[in-house]
Chains A and B, each alone.
Chain A
């Protein structure tokens, strides 16, 4: 079991470009959560998805950010027209069910740097 896989591990984008972050959940997990960690701060919830559905996006910025979890393939967090303030570590976690709170596992994160 490879665990939660995130790629790329590091991503550098110039201001105005698009960033695409990928998360493949653990085998058998159909629930994915995305978090953002700014320097010196704790992880902050962004969005919760099940296969083909966004369940809760209350933590997502209203503009430029979107997420999807298609029937096939990884979950994608997309940031359009990146700005310096988007520089952060982005983590995803997966679980077998929403209330499987004891069973969710984090990936190693994608570190986005906007130059």
Chain B
């Protein structure tokens, strides 16, 4: 059964601090791994997409890593801002279609002033 597990479930940090979110997956076949940011009451918005051959990808203050051998990914957020407060969702794709996505349940990040 395809599964995506994220940790921690929730995280509280102070503004300006860094944090790292974890994602473990058991999805086969594997096409790509995505990290999404979902603000409260909004739909998920893509942050990064990584294929099998990519180990790291950055998008501003967000840096995602992928270890396809251990089936683990992380999302590192540097110099956090209040607007980073959101749920961060790891999504693994088994193919090119949006119906082949397996979603994690997310890490709820709260950034405090």
Contacts and interface: CB of A to CB of B under 8 A. Distances in A.
Interface in A26-52: 31, 33, 35, 40-45, 48
A67 interface: no
Contacts of A31: 98
Contacts of A40: 105
Contact of B97 (A4, A99, A106, A109): A99
A109 B98 contact: no
A79 interface: no
A95 B97 CA distance: 9
A67 to B, nearest CB: 13
Given A33-B99, A56-B99, A104-B98, A109 B43 contact: yes
Given A40-B105, A42-B4, A42-B105, A101 B96 contact: yes
A64 to B, nearest CB: 21
B31 interface: yes
B45 A101 contact: no
A110 B85 CA distance: 21
Contacts of A95: 98
Given A41-B105, A42-B4, A101-B93, A108 B43 contact: yes
Given A98-B96, A99-B97, A44 B103 contact: yes
A34 to B, nearest CB: 10
Contacts of B93: 101
7 contacts: A42-B89, A42-B106, A45-B98, A45-B99, A98-B96, A101-B32, A109-B41
Return the 6 tightest CB-CB contacts between A and B, nearest first.
Answer: A42-B103, A106-B43, A99-B96, A101-B96, A43-B103, A42-B105
Interface of B: 4, 31-32, 41-45, 49, 89, 93, 95-99, 101-106
